[in-house]
Amino acid sequence: MSQNKHAIKNGEIIEEANAVVNVTLPPVQSNFSVYEALRVLKRHVVHLDDHTKRLEKSALSIHLPLPKVDWMSEINKLIEKDNIEDASIRILVVGTETPTWFITWTKLLTYPDSYYKEGVDVITYEGERLLPQSKTGNLLINYLSREEAKRNNAFEALLIDRNGQILEGSRSNFYLIMGDTIKTAPDEKVLDGITRISVLRAGRELGYKIDFTSPFPREIWASDAVFISSTSMGAMPIRSVDGKECPFDSEKVAAICSLVRKWELE
Amino acid sequence: MSQNKHAIKNGEIIEEANAVVNVTLPPVQSNFSVYEALRVLKRHVVHLDDHTKRLEKSALSIHLPLPKVDWMSEINKLIEKDNIEDASIRILVVGTETPTWFITWTKLLTYPDSYYKEGVDVITYEGERLLPQSKTGNLLINYLSREEAKRNNAFEALLIDRNGQILEGSRSNFYLIMGDTIKTAPDEKVLDGITRISVLRAGRELGYKIDFTSPFPREIWASDAVFISSTSMGAMPIRSVDGKECPFDSEKVAAICSLVRKWELE
């Protein structure tokens, strides 16, 4: 928290240090909140409509009355105030009696080129998210699985459901390429990723069929490549799972990633 | 949040209004926190040892490094400062790099005598808590199920697991009395309730056998009585489930409740 950075709270520009919530409020204690993580590139807010639509869906799913906000103009206020060029932006709406909302930002989250060329290491982690299609404040499983990944020097954790199938990463969606098919969990079981929409569109443009079936970990070893996607990652190839090297084809993933990144600037 | 009320933050007495956390911190965003809800009766902190032991277990289960705190003396500082006679107390430890901890309080949560004599209405709600034995900040399922109960004019929601069995309430443990047996979910599937320990001890003293099997809702209709327990409720009889009246025997439950309450003052 820098003294010079700002945030927006209920439409008002504040010091970031004042972007706080009181721990005695039941909705704060119970993660009764929804959020979105966006990107600003060259002062342009990427896929804002998709993000605000998903925010509405998330709020509806937990009966949180979303305030009417012109998110574009509010984010632009913050871009102007802090002279932001590129950034990761977070919208948070906490369901207090009159919902309290925040817009905060951090330096744009990017990853070294080597991650895209050489792939990243991931682990598997047993766990299912509550209300997987919603971005709510109920994020402990994401946090714990990611910390477990860190302890194993891995970049991401893949969540394995009660049937032993791979649903999604702690902060990403997951895909398996086999021949002319991209396999990924069905929509209703995972986060409706904004970048996932682009990945599947890119896959189709490149001639892949999409098979909406959650892959089993054992299928990884018979695949051509596996990868994850998120707003900050784009599409990122995986080179090992639970410490074991896996089939790896960074070019197949790069072809998808390059279309995804192109569309962000449109 | 009253101006006159205080809280403790990392050992320092503060205005309750300043008991805040910054929404830009990842552990805050991800409910990486543990808590306890206690009672102060006549300036006496009830079952403090049991609560602090559970706090340690909760912290261990999510790898949260718990700070060494003399909770008794810290709670007593707050009792003195705000001249507290009876209260509900909350300890909260947020897993920031150096964990931040709070002690806050509210008026003692109590319920009308009629709830104990006439019983309360509950609903069933499909859902399982993550890490059921731990009191973490990951509480959205508890909040949502309780809000659904409120919309149905019910007092509590019973969480039904993937097998259709009753685990616990949104903020209580659940029991079914049939003949000489009290049936309740196995320890590893539910919160290790401090009052649950007393309820089972009281049950045994009154001659009941304890069967640690999660009851199915259909068993309610063949039971003698069903009830819930929590720190603030003690043992409270249920009179209806999902709008349907159920077997009700407030005296059986009252016998248990009276022992539970007696031990609180020891």
C-alpha to C-alpha distance for A112 and A108, rounded to whole angstroms = 13
Q: Please write the tens of the pLDDT for every residue from B10-24.
A: 999 999 999 999 999
* Residue A222 Cα, gap to closest chain B Cα (Å): 32
For A100, residues 6+ apart whose C-beta sits below 8 A from its C-beta are: A9, A10, A21, A93, A94
Closest Cα of chain B to A130: distance in Å?
8
Q: Name which of A23, A138, A139 is nearest B21 (Cβ-Cβ).
A: A23
In DSSP notation, B86-134 reads SEEEEEEEE-SSS-EEEEEEEE-----HHHHHH-EEEEEEE---SSTTS
* Residue B162 touches chain A, beta carbons under 8 Å: yes
CA-based end-to-end distance of chain B: 32
The residue that leads in pLDDT, A122 or B98, is: A122
Tell me the per-residue pLDDT of A28-77, one tens digit each, with 9 for 90 and over: 999 999 999 999 999 999 999 999 999 999 999 999 999 999 999 999 99
CA-to-CA distance for B95 and B5, rounded, in angstroms? 25
Q: How far apart are the CA of A120 and the nearest CA of chain B, in angstroms?
A: 22
- Rg (C-alpha) for chain A, rounded Å, is 19
**B20 closest CB neighbour out of A23, A30, A35:** A23
Contact A7 B20 (CB under 8 A): no
Contacts of residue B160, defined as CB under 8 A and 6 or more positions apart, other chains included, come to B124, B125, B126, B127, B166, B167, B217
pLDDT at B265 (0 to 100): 78
Alpha-carbon span A190 to A1, nearest angstrom: 32
Residues in chain A closer than 8 A to B144 (CB atoms): 32, 62-63
Give the pLDDT mean for B229-242: 96
Give whole-number Cα distances, B50 to A145, B33, B192, B197, B198, in Å: 29, 19, 10, 10, 11
Rounded-to-integer distance, Cα A230 and Cα B119, Å: 50
Interface check B31 vs A, CB under 8 A:
yes
Chain B: give the shortest CA distance to residue A77, in Å.
18
Contacts of residue B59, defined as CB under 8 A and 6 or more positions apart, other chains included, come to B34, B65, B66, B93
A30–B1: do the CB atoms touch at under 8 Å? Answer: no
Residue A2 above 80 pLDDT?
no
Domains of chain A: 6-107 (3.30.470.10), 113-264 (3.20.10.10)
The 10s digit of each residue's pLDDT in A156-196 is 999 999 999 999 999 999 999 999 999 999 999 999 889 99
Inter-chain CB proximity B23 and A22 less than 8 Å: no
Give the per-residue pLDDT at B207.
Answer: 97
What is residue B248's predicted lDDT score, i.e. its pLDDT?
92
Chain B residue with Cα closest to A34: B29
Look up residue A151 and give its amino acid.
Answer: R
Other CB atoms within 10 Å distance of the CB of residue B43: 13
- pLDDT tens column, B161-193: 999 999 999 999 999 999 999 999 999 999 988
Checking ipTM against 0.90, whether it exceeds it is yes
Helical packing angle, B48-61 and B71-81, nearest 10°: 120
Chain B interface includes A130 (CB < 8 A): yes
| Phi/psi of residue B33, nearest 5 degrees | -155, 160
Q: What is the C-alpha to C-alpha distance for residues A122 and A246, in angstroms, rounded to an integer?
A: 10
In the prediction, which pLDDT does A3 show?
59
Measured CA to CA, the distance from residue B154 to residue B149 in angstroms comes to 5
Mean pLDDT of B17-36: 97
Q: In this predicted structure, what is the pLDDT of residue A120?
A: 98
Out of B20, B106, B131, the one facing A22 most closely (by C-beta) is B20
Bigger pLDDT: B1 vs B158: B158
